[in-house]
Chains A and B, each alone.
Chain A
Amino acid sequence: MLQVHEEGRAVVSSGSREKMEHDTSRLHAYGLWATYQQDA
């Protein structure tokens, strides 16, 4: 939370695309501004 506050973003989860879509949607349900992306 502090990292988000100071840097504007933080990685909170990683895994398969399906799991990331699920996690992102859980965060959206709580009004959090989450996105997922593939690591290079």
Chain B
Amino acid sequence: MRPFRRRGGDVVARLDPAEAHVLGLLLDQLDQLLAADPDDVDGDPVMARLLPAGHRSDPELAADYRELTEAALRSGKTDDLAAVRATLPVDGGQLRLDPEQAGSWLRTTNDLRLALGERIGVTEDTEPPEDPAGEEGQQLAVYYWLTALQGSLVDAVAAGRDARR
């Protein structure tokens, strides 16, 4: 990976074929979760993290809130995911994002980190894997890779904002 950096008003990065492939698989998994029948994924901690309850203590208010907002939240995530897929070079290579596409990448990579982090139990005490080739190590290595990708995107987008001031 060559991390994100600015080019004019856009941001550019380069992904290895293997990285683009892994990212594509993660997008497929997130897509399936978002498209699933809510009853089938009820109680899944990953869904609870992606579509959180709006009210802490009152289940009735939380249900009202969910009814009002969940469809928009879900379709927003689905649109972001589609924008990421449309700009991801499936076999690796350079990708170039305008500010709107960069926003979709920021939100979707965040959802992927939340979903993966919840699934494999990442906490603030988690450390990089000692054996990145082992089964657990692989997933954690992917998590750290996503973190690095997202970090460079945040830096590149923020640098553009500072430059416009």
Contacts and interface: CB of A to CB of B under 8 A. Distances in A.
A25 B54 contact: yes
B52 interface: yes
Main SS of the interface on chain B? helix
Given A35-B54, A37-B57, A28 B73 contact: yes
A30 B80 CA distance: 11
Given A31-B107, A31-B111, A21 B69 contact: yes
B69 A34 contact: no
B56 interface: yes
30 contacts: A21-B54, A21-B65, A21-B68, A21-B69, A24-B54, A24-B65, A25-B68, A25-B72, A25-B73, A28-B52, A28-B54, A28-B73, A29-B73, A29-B76, A29-B107, A30-B110, A31-B110, A31-B111, A33-B52, A34-B54, A35-B52, A35-B54, A35-B56, A36-B54, A36-B55, A36-B65, A37-B55, A37-B56, A37-B57, A37-B58
